[in-house]
Structure 1
Amino acid sequence: MRLDRRTLDQIDSPITSAYQLLDLRESDGNLLDLAQAAPPYPPAPVVTEHVTRVARSADGAGYTEVPGLPRLRRAVAAELSRDYRGRIEPDNVVVTAGCNQAFSLVASTLAGPGDEVVLPLPYYFNHDMWLRLTGITPVHLERGPDLVPRAADAARLITPRTRAIVLVSPDNPSGVTVDPDGIAEFAALARRYDLALVLDETYRSFRDSAEPAHRLFADPDWDRTVVSLHSFSKDLAIPGYRVGAVVGSPALNREVCKLLDCVATCAPRIGQEAAWAGLTHAAQWRAERAADIAARRTAFAAAMADRPGGFELLSCGGFFAWLRHPFTGRPTEDVVRELVVKHDTLVMPGTGFLGADRGTLRVSVSNIERAQIPAFVGHLRDAGQ
């Protein structure tokens, strides 16, 4: 058989490539796995108990409505309306099998082959991959020295083919958060050119502020421009349940549901039930977990302050830190390989988020216990000698 050239020409998953390096390890020592970000704790007991009850029920394995369980959609709408001091209705919510699927469905609803979508650089690799796989051209927006993307720079990239601007905040991979004023400027830019502003808010619960991430939902006409994407994987520690959400206009969501019906029929019921239980009954547990991740970030940033081994912390937020290694002219893939083979530390090369080598690494600080940070710093010092 013949395979499609567009898929063949796409990169393999950077996550898969990173974990293949484990086969090269020279020791059986304890591995510091800081590659794929995952909650370092199990779901809240109330979530596990609810899922157990559902699994034993007569309809626990059945389909749901294509846009999702009505009570989950109501819960998502209610929480976002409260947290953002705006107005979101259940009809604005479509439940998906994770936020990656949410992005893919939205991108394919907004754009087609030959169209363009603006992505800040570094980008989340699955966003760039999906656009290329569907014939959409990613147009990369260079960030400033503080790694914060700016609307004024994005304005210079807009062409008649542009269909959307994508922001991830807090960012994956850099951890950088765009403040409410910055997000408002992107929304104004999108509105001016009749574009969609697609906000991936997977890490919204892991910001260093209790204030709303943005003010866009307070605008009665928000859904003419804004599409907000959400994940419950990190927030509720249920990554394997695969549940996320699209928050957008009913008109957009009708088209999203056409695609969702084709690729999944509906998001897995068990994941939807888990998300409902977490959103409605685990508020204190979620706050405590977010505080734990914040403490890990703070300890990590403090430990990196003196650039151990010459490794420089460029930014840190959400679940991630973005580092620059000290080996000028040395391929970053080689640096990552040595870290895992010689120093029992697995991180992600920045090349997977850039399409080029700028000497950067992504570290999932969510994965590291505070007691493990001195060992990580020691590994960097050893690697930098």
Structure 2
Amino acid sequence: MTAAYSSPINPLLAATITSPIVESRRWVENAVFRDDMPLINVSQAAPVDPPPAPLRQAMAEAVLNEVDSHLYGPVLGMPALRDEVAHQWSAVYGGAIKRDNVGITSGCNQAFCAAISSLAAPGDAVILPAPWYFNHKMWLDMAGIECRVLTCGDDMLPDPEQAAGMIDDRVKAIVLVTPNNPSGVEYPPALTSAFYKLAQKRGIALIVDETYRDFHSQTGAPHGLFADPDWQDTLIQLYSFSKAYRLTGHRVGAMICSASRMLQIEKFLDTQTICPNQLGQRGALFGMRTLGSWLARERQEILDRAAAMRAGFPQLDGWQLKGCGAYFAYVSHPFDAPSNVIAKALVDKAAVLALPGTMFSPTVAEGGTGHAERHFRIAFANVDRTGIATLFDRLAAFSP
């Protein structure tokens, strides 16, 4: 009998974890929830409502009337959208940003993958604070790039001095996410500046992912890094239009970096999606030009929900709120079992779907400190104040 032939699987891909979002959806796909206790889903940080009506109307008109909206476009995105980003970013951050510094990507995840691909080869290393955004860790693993874990303190802030001791010739970049996913913590300007100066001094890149910038609690620029006339030598910024304008399904993100790096980024993007989504780009441009007041109201609603999380948390005996901001609360639980076990019990007994810390940090078995097993991420952006109150009631009554 001839043995069945099996084509090879890339071992790096095989060793990469299953997406936590995919895995968590499997926990509930066959579950039946009581009518008086419907599922509260605080697992995913993405808007569930469609874009506002004026934006949808503009996209519909583009479908009907703009032939170019159905064709390949420039690899780095629509010139008008790149110009708008450069103009608004220069005004907000107080720096000199031009069209050549801006690339439009198929979502912010692709921007991260492109940035890393321009910096590091298999065998190189990148410093990633933990808890991390899991797709960042997944891409490093798939690409054969070492993830050097910079474990945050109890305040959920990474330490630049600790990072300095981790840098050698193999390290090509440090990654920061602010407001942070998963902790919600906003990194103070002095902290991002300290990391910038460290990266600048050591000749590596600082990647700053600002996907949730539009929901920062402070007005004005969250940092002053672009004000340095030499920012292009060190800084790579990532951004997402998905959260601001509810364009998640249209996949539109952005990267800001040096013009010389952007030429290399263009090669990566051309082999991936060829060009960003044409309708999504038109939606993003419409949003940037006309929806400032609407976005300001969206921001206030998210800030109000964050305030509700902070106000209600003291009623939970033994739980601790470690960070809260943008879309997220990061919490420690009081139980003996690890968070990945408790997460499934929360679904079964409390009809709450939240992601365990084991999806955001190395476990003890992987060399971690136990941080992963003690924590949860709660994505509250899609839960109003009434839903947040119900969430607290269920967590208060929960026992694994």
TM-score class normalised by the smaller sequence: over 0.9
Preserved CA contact (<8 Å) 2:33 2:39 = no
Identify the residue that residue 341 of structure 2 maps to in structure 1: 334
Residues 279-307 of structure 1 show CA distances to partners (whole Å, capped at 9, x for unaligned) of: 1110000000000000000011110123x
Preserved CA contact (<8 Å) 2:356 2:373 = no
Q: Does 1:7 align with 2:13?
A: yes
Identify the residue that residue 237 of structure 2 maps to in structure 1: 228
Residues 188-247 of structure 1 show CA distances to partners (whole Å, capped at 9, x for unaligned) of: 000111100000000111111002111011111111100000001111111111000110
AA partner of residue 309 (structure 2): F
Q: Does 1:351 align with 2:358?
A: yes
Residues 298-357 of structure 1 show CA distances to partners (whole Å, capped at 9, x for unaligned) of: 011110123x153221110111000111112x1212211111112111111111111213
Identify the residue that residue 198 of structure 2 maps to in structure 1: 189
TM-superposed CA distance for 1:23, in Å, is: 3.2
AA partner of residue 92 (structure 2): D
User: Could you tell me which of 12, 27, 35 is aligned with 1:21?
Assistant: 27
User: Could you tell me which of 190, 206, 210 is aligned with 2:219?
Assistant: 210
Q: Does 1:373 align with 2:373?
A: no
4+ residue segments displaced more than 6 Å? none
Q: Over the residues paired in the alignment, what is the CA RMSD in angstroms? A: 1.2
* Structure 2 unmatched runs, 5+: 1-6, 364-371
AA partner of residue 34 (structure 1): V
- SS of 1:141's equivalent in the other structure is strand
Residues 94-130 of structure 1 show CA distances to partners (whole Å, capped at 9, x for unaligned) of: 0000000000011011001110100001111111110
Give the TM-score normalised by the residue count of structure 2.
0.93
Give me the whole-angstrom Cα distance separating, in 2, the residues matched to 1:40 and 1:259: 30
Give the TM-score normalised by the residue count of structure 1.
0.97
AA partner of residue 189 (structure 2): P
Preserved CA contact (<8 Å) 1:26 1:341 = no
AA partner of residue 343 (structure 1): A
- SS of 1:139's equivalent in the other structure is strand
Give me the whole-angstrom Cα distance separating, in 2, the residues matched to 1:276 and 1:135: 36
- SS of 2:314's equivalent in the other structure is coil
Give me the whole-angstrom Cα distance separating, in 1, the residues matched to 2:25 and 2:80: 38
- SS of 2:75's equivalent in the other structure is coil
Preserved CA contact (<8 Å) 2:179 2:210 = yes
AA partner of residue 156 (structure 1): G
Give me the whole-angstrom Cα distance separating, in 2, the residues matched to 1:38 and 1:3: 31
Identify the residue that residue 247 of structure 2 maps to in structure 1: 238
* Structure 1 unmatched runs, 5+: none
Give me the whole-angstrom Cα distance separating, in 1, the residues matched to 2:270 and 2:34: 46
Identify the residue that residue 61 of structure 1 maps to in structure 2: 70
Map of 1:264-283 to 2, 5 A cutoff? Answer: 264-283=273-292
Give me the whole-angstrom Cα distance separating, in 2, the residues matched to 1:28 and 1:325: 25
Number of residue-to-residue matches in the alignment: 383
TM-superposed CA distance for 1:24, in Å, is: 5.1
Give me the identity figure in percent: 37
Give me the whole-angstrom Cα distance separating, in 1, the residues matched to 2:373 and 2:71: 48
Identify the residue that residue 116 of structure 2 maps to in structure 1: 107
Give me the whole-angstrom Cα distance separating, in 2, the residues matched to 1:110 and 1:304: 41
Identify the residue that residue 318 of structure 1 maps to in structure 2: 326
Preserved CA contact (<8 Å) 1:77 1:90 = yes
